[in-house]
A and B are shown apart, each in its own frame.
Chain A
Amino acid sequence: MPPQEEYSTGSRSFWSWLATSKVYQSVSASLLGTKKRRLVLLAAVPIIWAIVANLGPLFKMLDISFYDAYPLSKGREATYTIAAWREFFVTPVYYIPFFRTLIFSGILTFATLVLVYPVAYFLARHVPKSRQMLFLLLVLIPFWVGEIIRTYAIMILLGNNGAINIALKFLGIIDRPIPFMYTSFSLGIGIVYLVSLYMLLPLYSALEKIPTNMNEAAADLGAGPWRRFWRITLPLSKDGIASGCVLVFLIATGFYATPVILGGPSSTMFAESIANTFNVAADRWPTGAAFSSIMLITTLTLAAVFLKIMGRRGKGYL
């Protein structure tokens, strides 16, 4: 065989050499010999990862939340206490931001749904299939940019010398700039700006799947456009609404930097309360762990209840 040809088939010969090599065959037989062994080999890494990297941190957080102090000074053993959990329920400075975060995120989730539903509907039902990707990409691109940069962009929009105030002044509607920044309003605008994609995609994929002939059939039977929407489109897009709302809610409750940058003293979010327990003296870690646990349990429970109400089942948890 001329050397050139041998070179060009180099990778192929590596695999056939491997497959025929005695050492590899015996290794292969011992590792992949039976169906059970193959499953173990395939399952070991992902399952260990899921337990160590995904569950481990949550359980450790729950554990630390019952410590009396952490990190521990040398030679000191931790004693278990519910002090950190108790602190949450007796301190308004903590539970007020907590309930504010839940209510605020709930309102923003609903606002996002109302804003994004027509957008998703338009994309899925009115844009011709060949151009859907283009129209979708147009709204996707801004979401690839990170949280901090987009939050900063909102700052420029809403500042006292920002675009909106200047435009309003120019039109003669106001004399003095409206202080949008550092309020619940600026924070709301910012969070909707950050999360609307997570509403758009589930809604779009749910709406896109609805066969058009259902609407046609209803129209033939005399249902008007609104009736068709309420009786056919909306119920059939329920799965998209459920996933979108849950995703947006969970993500909205978890923002830390955006409330710090866009929010003000009257819109302190619970994420800030949690973070503050890590900024000051180190022995407040159990408090932060307890707060995070409370928030995790609450948000996941609310999400599960919501999915249950929306009648999602048997399709994975999202």
Chain B
Amino acid sequence: MPLKVKSIASFVSLEQIVDKLNELGFVLESSAIMVSEGKFWNRMLYIKGEEMVFVSDEIGDTYPKDPVVTIYGLDDTIEKITGVLY
């Protein structure tokens, strides 16, 4: 089954997103400091087999926080992750 992409900017907390990724068996592979739109972000890559999820979380005490989650995965994985994002 081909993998699909989905990208969502969400208002849920990073902890909720990470909990869901851990529950689904994703493992944090690497992270880096990214600068985009004049803001600093912590960009993290989670991997499970062929599936990948990029989570970008703005650094600092900004409000509201809207982590960007980009999923490259199976329909079922996309559905489960987007379930916590909306």
> Are A and B associated in one complex?
no
